[in-house]
């Protein structure tokens, strides 16, 4: 029997803190986010829930920003059942999607952030991992102007993941991997085990397309 996983209140924030940058030419997410991963909230979604968990991480950033901007509560980070219900309600999925183990990708993440938080997202379609370098400046501009974490989904590389930074030289992405399963650990542990790490662009699959979901809410430092 699997060990119980920590409650949502025990999850870690800003899990990239303390990680060494490949160079000075790097751009990182601004503001607080929560690291959601397989099994958190005592919900076992191993093998299919990575897109939902990345959506939850992005939602935590949006929620935090909206509450700073408006000085009032924003929508809670949605649970997996709530995400599935929302996608059915807006007509993106059939009723049988509720309670299923069907994956979601960047497009569904875009729909849900708009649905729950009234925040639009920009979708960037990347035809192949081989052309990811062509979109380095898109990500640099996003982190400079908006600062939100990014959702990254793929085709043959179908493991959804969060992008919380980009580096020009060497060309790399700072990946927040939601596939970790286990009790809450330290940021140092997650970094040491590779759940949060820089990945060179050459490591991404040439024969897989990728979709990037970029929330269009600007970070503002309210002190």
Active-site pick, 26, 40, 45, 50: 50
Helix (H), strand (E), coil (C) string for 119-152: CCEEEEEECCHHHHHHHHHHHHHHHHHCCCCEEE
Exposed/middle/buried for residue 95 (C-beta within 10 Å: 0-12, 13-18, 19+): exposed
As a residue count, the chain comes to: 223
Crossing angle for the helix pair 106-117 and 80-89, to the nearest 10 degrees: 90
Check whether the bond before 48 is cis (ω within 30° of 0).
Answer: no
Helices assigned H by DSSP within 71-192: 80-89, 106-117, 136-145, 187-192
Of 197, 199, 216, 56, whose CA–CA distance to 141 is shortest?
216
Active-site pick, 45, 112, 177, 213: 177
Cα 14 to chain centroid distance, Å, stands at 12
Whether 177 sits among the annotated catalytic residues: the reply is yes
Crossing angle for the helix pair 106-117 and 50-70, to the nearest 10 degrees: 30
Taking the C-alpha atoms of residue 157 and residue 193, their distance in angstroms, rounded to an integer, is 20
Whether 179 sits among the annotated catalytic residues: the reply is yes
User: Which residues carry out catalysis?
Assistant: 50, 177, 179
């Amino acid at each position: 029997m699997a060990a119980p996983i920590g409650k949502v209140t025990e999850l870690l924030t800003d899990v990239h803190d303390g990680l060494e940058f490949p160079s000075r030419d790097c751009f990182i997410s601004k503001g607080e986010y929560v690291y959601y991963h397989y099994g958190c909230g005592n919900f076992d979604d191993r093998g299919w829930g990575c897109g939902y968990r990345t959506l939850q991480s992005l939602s935590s950033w949006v929620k935090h920003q909206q509450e700073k901007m408006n000085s009032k509560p924003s929508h809670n980070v949605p649970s997996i059942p709530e995400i599935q219900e929302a996608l059915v309600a807006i007509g993106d999925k059939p009723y049988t999607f509720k309670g299923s183990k069907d994956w979601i990708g960047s497009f569904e993440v875009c729909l849900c952030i708009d649905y729950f938080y009234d925040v639009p997202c920009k979708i960037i379609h990347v035809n192949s991992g081989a052309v990811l370098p062509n979109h380095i400046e898109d990500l640099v501009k996003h982190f400079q102007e908006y600062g939100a974490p990014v959702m990254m989904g793929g085709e043959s590389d179908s493991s959804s993941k969060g992008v919380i930074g980009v580096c020009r030289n060497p060309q790399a992405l700072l990946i927040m991997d939601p596939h970790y399963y286990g009790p809450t650990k330290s940021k140092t542990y997650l970094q040491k085990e590779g759940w949060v790490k820089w990945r060179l662009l050459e490591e991404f699959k040439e024969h897989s397309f990728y979709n990037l979901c970029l929330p269009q809410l600007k970070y503002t430092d309210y002190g």
